[in-house]
Structure 1
Amino acid sequence: MVNAAGEGRRLPRRPASNLAERWTRVDGVDVFFRESPAPVEGARVIAHIHGFGLSGRYLLPTAERLADEFQTYVPDLPGFGRSGRRPDMLDIPDLAHAAIRFLDDRGVGRATLVGNSMGCPVIIECAHRYPERVDRAVLVSPAGGAFNRPLRRAVAQLSRDAPREPARMARVAVPDYARFGVPSTMRLFRALTRYPSLQRLLELRIPTLVVLGSRDPLLPNSHRIGEIASRTDSHVLVVLLEGAAHAINFSHPDQLAHVIRLFMDDRPIENDPEWPGHVRLYEVHRGANHPRAESP
C-alpha cells in the first residue's frame, strides 16, 4: 500500500516465507525485500527479480531453497508489491537501474541475477548497462517482444497459462495485479514488448542460463529458441523443463533450484532420480563458449 507521498506503508503482515523481511530506502523510495535469514559466510550473491505486475512473493519457493547456499535477496522493485511507487519506474532500463541501486544499498558489488518473465529483460538490461555488476544470468520463462504483442494476444496467452499453474498461485498473483493497476499495466506492457530482449541476449558475454517450460504458452517453441541462441558463439545454455508452464520459480522450485546449482558450479545438467517420472530437464542448446561446452 502506498501513502500520499508515494511511499510504501510498513503494514504489519504475517511473514510469507522463512526469509527475513526487511525495508530500506533507495533513491527516495521505500523498498521492501526479503533476504537470507542469516549472513551466508563467503557465499556468492543471488538476487531474484520478479515478473510483470507481481511482487517477489511468488519467487520465494525457489529462493528459499537456495538461501542456505547463497546470500539471497528478493526485492519488490519500485512500483511493485509492497514497495513505494515512482512514476518514472515503468520502463525496462529504469527497472534495471533500480535493481542495481538496490544492490548498491545492500553493499553488493557483483551478483547472479535470477528472473522470471519480465524480470528477464530487466536482468538483460542490467548486464548490458552494468556488465561489471552481473556475474551470471538465469532467465526463467523470458517474456516480452513480438511474440507477446498485441496486448490481447498476451492476455490470451496468460489466460491459457493460468489453469496450468498451481491453484495457489492465484492467491499470490491476483492481489499483486490488482495493486499494480490498469494504467501501470498498459504503460509497462508497451515498454516490455518494445525492449530488444533477443538482440541484447545474443550480445551477452556472461554465463547465461535460460530455463523454459514445455507448457508455457507465452513462449515460442523451445526448438525455435534453441535455433535463435545458436546464431552466435554465446555463453547461453538453454534448458527445457518438461511439464512446467510460465511461473517455474513457483510451480517447480525443487527442479529450478537444482538446475541453478548445477549451472553455478558449471556442472552438467542432469535430472534428479527422485523426481516424478513426468518431470525432466532437457538441454536444448549449449553455446560454444559456455563453460563445459564440448568440442564437436
Structure 2
Amino acid sequence: MAKTSAAAADRWRERRTPRRAASRLIDRWTVVDGVDVFYRESPNPPKDARVMMHVHGFGMSGRYLLPTAELLADEFHTFVPDLPGFGRSGRHPQGLDIPDLAAAAARFLDDRGVEKATLVGNSMGCPVILEFADRFPDRIERAVLVSPAGGVFNRPLSRAIRQLAQDGTREPPRMARVAVPDYARFGVPSTLKLFRALTQYPSLQRLLELELPTLVVLGDRDPLMPGPARVQEVAGQVDNHVLAVTIEGAAHAINFSHARALAHLIRRFMDDLSILDDPTWTGGARVVEIHRGVHHPSAKDD
C-alpha cells in the first residue's frame, strides 16, 4: 500500500463522514487490498505493549466494541477495525465469507506492521478468529471468544431473526443507536449471503482443534446461544487450552453491555490469573468459571 494512497483516503473520508461521539481511541483510515478500511487505535500505547485486535459481529461495525476496547487501551496496543464491507469501511467487490474475513484481518495486521496479536471477538467475530487461528497459527497469541455465534442453533434465518429480536429487549436501549444504522448499511443481500456462510462454518470443530490459550465468555441471558445443558455438553468435549466463563445477567453484546466485567476477565486471562470478581465492584455482574481445559495454564493467585 502506498502511503500517499492511505493519506488521500484519510482526507477524503474525513470530509465525507459525519463526526461521531468522541472516543478515547483515535479514528484512522488505511487501504488494504484496494479497499478503504476504517479503524480505531490506542492513542499512546506503552512501548512494549502486547497487541490486541477486537473483531466485530455480524452486520455490525467495531463501534459497539469500544466500551471494552477503551478500558484495555492503556495496557494493550489496541486496534478496532471495521472489516471490509462493514461499518465505515469500503465494500469488497465479491463480498466476503468467514475465511475471507479472517484473511482480511491478517492483511490488516500486515498493513499495520503487526506480526502477532491477541484477538478478541464477539458473535460472528469468533468464527473469524477461529479461522484466523487455523490459517495463521503463528500470528495469534491468545483468543477471546465472546458470545460465539453461528451453527445449527441459529438456523434458519427466521429463527436467527427471532433470537436477535429477543436479544434486543435484553440489551441496553442505547445499543439500538449503534446496531440499527449498522444493520441498515450492511443490507439484505449481504445479510443473506453471510448468514449462510456463518451458519455452515465448522466452529465447534475449530474450537476443539485450538492449540492456544482461549477464553470463551458467555452471557446467561443470551438467546442466540444454546442453553446450559448444551454448553456443558460442549465443554465436556473440550480438553485443550479453553477456559469458559459466564457473566450473569449478560445477553449477547457483552462487549457493549458488560464492558467492565469483560475487561476484568480479559486482564486476568492475559496474565493467567484465577477467575474472580473484581473486589472493587459494588454491584452488577458476577463472573463464574464453568470449564477449564486440562491443558489450560493453571491459574495463579494475585
Please say if 1:185 is aligned against 2:191: yes
**Aligned counterparts of 1:225 and 1:236: Cα–Cα separation in 2:** 13
Partner of 1:256: 262
**Aligned counterparts of 2:274 and 2:249: Cα–Cα separation in 1:** 21
Name the structure where helix makes up a greater proportion of residues.
2
The alignment partner of 2:66 has SS state of helix
Q: Residue 41 of structure 2: which of 30, 35, 48 is its match?
A: 35
TM-score by length of 1: 0.94
8 Å contact kept, 1:223–1:284: no
The alignment partner of 1:257 has SS state of helix
Please say if 1:68 is aligned against 2:59: no
**Number of paired residues?**
288
Gap regions ≥5 residues in structure 2? 1-9
Please say if 1:99 is aligned against 2:105: yes
CA 1:271 to 1:39, structure 2 compared with 1: closer, same or farther past 3 Å? closer
Partner of 2:125: 119
**Aligned counterparts of 2:240 and 2:231: Cα–Cα separation in 1:** 13
Q: Residue 173 of structure 2: which of 148, 167, 171 is its match?
A: 167
Partner of 1:136: 142
Partner of 2:155: 149
Runs of 4+ in 1 over 3 A off after TM superposition: 7-10
How far does residue 43 in structure 1 lie from its aligned partner after superposition? 0.5
Partner of 2:252: 246
8 Å contact kept, 1:63–1:72: yes
How far does residue 166 in structure 1 lie from its aligned partner after superposition? 0.3
Identity of aligned residues (%): 71
8 Å contact kept, 2:258–2:285: no
How far does residue 277 in structure 1 lie from its aligned partner after superposition? 4.0
**Aligned counterparts of 1:89 and 1:130: Cα–Cα separation in 2:** 21
Q: Residue 220 of structure 2: which of 202, 211, 214 is its match?
A: 214
The one-letter code of the counterpart of 2:63 is R
**Aligned counterparts of 1:150 and 1:277: Cα–Cα separation in 2:** 38
**Aligned counterparts of 2:118 and 2:172: Cα–Cα separation in 1:** 27
TM-score by length of 2: 0.92
**Offset from partner CA, 1:231-255 (integer Å, 9 cap, x none):** 1421000000000000000000000
8 Å contact kept, 1:115–1:138: yes
How far does residue 190 in structure 1 lie from its aligned partner after superposition? 0.4
**Aligned counterparts of 2:180 and 2:37: Cα–Cα separation in 1:** 21
